[in-house]
Amino acid sequence: MDFTVKRSAQVVAFLLVSAAVTQALYTALYLLSPEGSRLAIWSAEAVIFALLAAFAASPMVHSQRLTVGWGAIFAAAVLNVVQVGVGLTMFTPFLNAAGESEALAPMAGAVVAYSFFVYNAAKMLLALAAVMFGLARMQAGGAGKVLGGAAALVGAVAVLANAASMAMGRDVFGELPLAGGSGVLATLLLALCVKSAAAQDR
């Protein structure tokens, strides 16, 4: 099978929707069972984001007007693989060690904080991509103008919210999940814009 730019964009859109679904599922499971295992979801996300990096690379190098948007998707996918990898390989050992020795608690906290920093950086980049693709969809006019406007607006909010979380910590908005929630919504709207925007990027 030949993976043209158009077909790669379709795969990217599917993977973005899949990522948004897994992150919504993660949040739902956390609310239902905060102590439950997340390994299955993290493992699925690792595969999704690794594939996303691969399939976003082709449109990125062939794009004429949306290079920044595709580059943001590619970079976000790579960062998400790193973030999920930290969760899969480091959370349990460090948290177990912290439970046995109080002196190691700051180290465990630092690992968790680093993971969330990378998470917010990836969300910020996907939100930036939503802004870029949303603006491109708006410029194309037609029925997609409303979708493009929504993607650009939500993306802008998510960029600011996740940048604030990176700079001031994940508790900057208190109990309000503004950074993560707006990031997931921006990812979903980005997925809806990707295919059509890619077709217009000539």
What per-residue string of b and e applies to 136-145 under the rule 16 or more CB within 10 Å gives b?
bbbebeeebe
Range of the domain at 108: 5-200
Total domain count, the chain? 1
As given in the structure block, the two tokens for residue 135 are 């603006």
CA 161 to chain centre: 13
pLDDT digits (tens, 9 = 90+) for 85-120: 998 888 888 888 888 888 878 888 888 889 989 999
Q: Is residue 157 within 8 Å of residue 182, measured between CB atoms?
A: yes
CB 125, CB 73: distance < 8 Å = yes
159-201 tens-digit pLDDT: 999 999 999 887 788 767 788 889 999 999 999 999 777 666 6
Q: How far apart are CA 74 and CA 178, in angstroms?
A: 23
Interval 141-161 mean pLDDT: 90
How many CB atoms neighbour CB 96 within 10 A? 11
Q: For 20-24, 47-51, 103-107, which range has the lowest pLDDT when averaged over its residues?
A: 103-107
